[in-house]
Amino acid sequence: MDFTNLGRTGLSVSRLVLGTMNFGSHTGEDDSHAIMDRAHEHGINFFDTANRYGGGPGHWGDTEAIIGRWFAQGGERRERTVLATKLYGVMDEWPNYGKLSAVNIRRACDESLRRLQTDHIDLYQMHHIDRDTPWDEIWQAMEVLTTQGKILYVGSSNFAGWNIAQANEIASSRHYLGLVSEQSIYNLLTREIELEVLPACMEFGLGLIAWSPLHGGLLGGVLAKERTDGARRREGRAKETLRKNRKRIAAYEGLAESLGEAPAAVGLAWLLARPGVTGPIIGPRTAEQLEDSVRAVELTLDDETLDALDEIFPGYQPAPEHYAW
């Protein structure tokens, strides 16, 4: 496994991030524990979760609890893991059980620590921008958690570029480290963050963590799977996205085949080659899917292949060059 520093910090994290969103909702606890053990065997030390993961109302927090019971087994499982979780989503119908008020930041952190059976969170991420809470309140609450030793670093998720700039300028005025990472959707089909979010991350020293790196499986060999029995049926937005992009996805799968590689490995390797990217989040439902993803770290795409991918899935220049000149 390859490792890199998370943004401008000295924290060393694996280039692949184990996403746990399926744990509890699509993957049972025993299988989830086996996947986490196997991830450590591969050298993956960076695990991502959220307080809302687990399967909907009545099951929010189940994923954190599954991870907590895995940590409780010992064997340095917690010590060898860089643990990232998130807060923002409503956890209860009663007021102040969601978003980023100081009250909810304190409550959500304590509840995550209890479920995770740990005394600290390495990376505490805001799952969404809170337009109703001032940054001074948010940073004061995060500073208290840092002083208490309950969190070490703060990250964002789904922020705009100007949100990142505003957050870190205010943090700097408070002599606080501020955001060290941003978690955004980023893949060959969805490249809008190249306009402003990715440049903001690079300017302010945030590591970019890419979620949905295969666009819900559409970049994982979907057309080849269609030709086999048991292919997953797609509905709604996924079905429409596939319809609109079928020719491009066919060209992409053909390119992967010419390289002798699985499409998923090519899509992940492309992200690993992008400037500013710490790593993609892989969210395996099975141990087999984890094994398939690890190949990406061993795969280096040459310039000709990278150019061919840009021709199939054109990206963006940073703003304002993309639309101004």
- The verdict on whether 316 is a catalytic residue reads no
**Single-letter amino acid, residue 1:** M
> Which pair of structure tokens corresponds to residue 298?
């061993």
Handedness of CA 124, 129, 135, 138 (dihedral sign): negative
Residue keyed to tokens 């710490």: 278
User: Are the CB atoms for 260 and 299 separated by under 8 Å?
Assistant: no
Handedness of CA 180, 264, 52, 157 (dihedral sign): positive
Rounded Cα–Cα distance for residues 142 and 136 (Å): 10
Selecting among 53, 88, 124, 153, the annotated active-site residue is 53
Residues near 87 by Cβ (< 8 Å), separated by ≥ 6? 50, 51, 100, 104, 105, 108, 109, 112, 124, 125, 126, 127
Say whether 99 sits in a helix, a strand or coil. Answer: coil
Rounded Cα–Cα distance for residues 184 and 212 (Å): 9
Rounded Cα–Cα distance for residues 39 and 287 (Å): 9
**Single-letter amino acid, residue 235:** E
Q: Which residues pair with 14 in a beta bridge?
A: 3
- Which region, left, alpha or beta, applies to residue 55 given φ > 0 means left and ψ of -120 to 50 means alpha? left
Euclidean distance between the first and final Cα of the chain, in Å?
41
Rounded Cα–Cα distance for residues 317 and 4 (Å): 25
Buried b / exposed e over 303-312, threshold 16 CB at 10 Å, is: eebeebbeeb
The set of catalytic residues is 53
